[in-house]
Structure 1
């Protein structure tokens, strides 16, 4: 047995254990499944033990794996703390900053802000993590997060930004073919593109005063970009935040008599990296851009 533990292999084991499969662990680490599988196999070979057994389509920790997991979690916490401390004390305005935001915000809002950032600090390399899942800033899955929920972790610093209104939109082509709805009766004849495949999405819209019925749902996707592209190409109507819609001239706001859905926005960062000049610059620029956009609405 090799007594020197490779942290890359240990991190691969930790991701697999916490996410329940090689495929999910690989996605979390930004690796391919075969690469992660080789890392776990190499760790098992180095330790001389079997860490996982396959049960159906899932991987289950063996007793040796359970014992190893507790130690590797402590290694991970120490590595995260070290990385945070180092990042927080860096005064270099050159280097990488990772930002996580929803896929729609990443595609339709962030690029213009990043163009301004490049003029201000051309040495900063931005890694945009376009994901609708909440990334773990404590694990350094991102440096900065644009979230629609307030963080609960005490280690995170969150700046509450002005709520962003979301309205109903359709493409001009869709309205030309189907007519522009004027009344609630007209609205209920429209094709709606939803973000959730089950009835919970309709319930959320109803609670916000939008009279959407399950019968109106003609397509759904968990991807905001996919939903928005379906709307742009005339498949139906949806609700979208104004920060995205204002950058899409092909769409038209409809039913102005319906009150907007107000979407909370939180700009979040780990307190250790908040003192990093490079990350703080990007953080402040994102906050200023979001606040300016809301003021212009």
Structure 2
């Protein structure tokens, strides 16, 4: 291995290929040409004296050596990105970048009006939105602020419970015009259902009549929450979604007395970021806007409580 540490850009190239699985996708992500990115990866392999990827039919597969280095290189990238965000504006002003992570459905359907109002009031704040159902590591600085549906368990985090939102079973009016609404859980067997493809921890909340809704029950399957919501709106069948979002979309609720699970919503950020005015401003705006979404009160009232 070379005694001189490899250039930082080589590690960033390595991390991008790890994440994307191909040179072309990683090059697009970094704004580089594919040959340039390939040279960066080859240079890092030479500097470390380790093969990092092997070619496969699906793209580039990381070697065992690359997988062993994955935690450190991902932490390095996250720390560097966090440093750049901190340096993007003065700590005492609402200027600079703030990175937020949220699930697909929250990022697509809940946050946009909240963030639009935030940026209208504070145009100097730059929002970076990471859309993922994976729980980001705030301690490692994958993001500055996270919207989560589980209580954060990591230390050194400022966590605040937003409230709880209700799920319900909904269908489009057009679908119910073709097929009368079910009046009992057993009647769902005669309906098309929209749901998940691969079970996840949250899918355990999808129970009806004391029994879980499983993959086999669904005639339309996808693990993308936004695609599920779109399918329900389009009339593909009956599916579970946020009650507030379904009402906004004009969907019709069925079996309300049989299916009404509550899911908690939390906000979290690293305690060190309390010194950053823009991070605190974004945190308070999210707490207020998401509070209105879960029915905790008006955004203005919850904003006053957030600052108190």
Aligned partners of 2:45 and 2:52 also within 8 Å: no
Matches of 2:287 and 2:120, distance apart in 1: 17
Contact 1:20 1:59 in 2 (8 A): no
8 Å CA contact 1:101, 1:130 repeated in 2:
yes
Instruction: Answer whether contact 2:171 2:254 (CA < 8 A) is retained.
Output: yes
Distance 1:16 1:262, change over 3 A: same
List per-residue Cα deviations over 1:219-275 (Å, max 9, x = no partner).
1111111011111100011111234324322x1122121241111111111222232
Quote the residue 1:205 is aligned against: 206
> Does the aligned pair in 1 maintain the 2:172–2:232 contact within 8 Å?
yes
Equivalent residue, structure 1, for 2:14? 13
Superposed CA deviations along residues 158-217 of structure 1, whole A, max 9, x for unmatched, are 111211111111111011111122222323322111123459887542378466465531
Q: Which runs of 5+ in 2 are unaligned?
A: 299-308
Q: Secondary structure at the residue paired with 1:176?
A: helix
Alignment of structure 1 residues 148-159 onto 2, 5 Å: 148-159=149-160
Corresponding residue for 1:126? Answer: 127
Q: What is aligned with 1:58? A: 61
Give me the whole-angstrom Cα distance separating, in 1, the residues matched to 2:51 and 2:44.
9
State the partner residue of 2:289.
289
Alpha-carbon contact 1:221-1:227 (below 8 Å) kept:
yes
TM-score (norm 1): 0.80
Q: What's the counterpart of residue 175 of structure 1?
A: 176
Matches within 5 A, 1:1-297: 3=4, 5-13=6-14, 21-22=21-22, 26=26, 30-31=29-30, 34=34, 37-45=38-46, 47=47, 49-52=49-52, 54=54, 58-62=61-65, 79=80, 90-197=91-198, 204-206=205-207, 209=210, 212=213, 214-249=215-250, 251-293=251-293, 294-295=295-296
Pair 132,49 (structure 1): closer, same or farther in 2 beyond 3 Å: same
Decide whether the 8 Å contact of 1:194 with 1:201 is kept in 2: no
- Specify whether residues 270 and 2 from structure 1 end up closer, same or farther in structure 2 by C-alpha distance, changes over 3 A only: same
Deviates more, 1:231-240 or 1:81-90: 81-90
SS of 2:63's partner is: strand
Q: Secondary structure at the match of 1:188?
A: helix
TM-score (norm 2): 0.77
Q: In 2, Cα distance between the equivalents of 1:54 and 1:6?
A: 22
Moved more, 52-61 or 189-198: 52-61
CA contact (8 A) 1:104 1:244 kept: no
Q: Is 2:20–2:26's contact at 8 Å kept on the other side of the alignment?
A: no
* Larger RCO (CA under 8 A, 6+ residues apart): 1
Total equivalences in the alignment: 291
Name the CA distance, whole Å, in 1 between partners of 2:209 and 2:87: 44
Could you tell me whether the CA contact under 8 Å between 1:195 and 1:201 is conserved in 2?
A: no
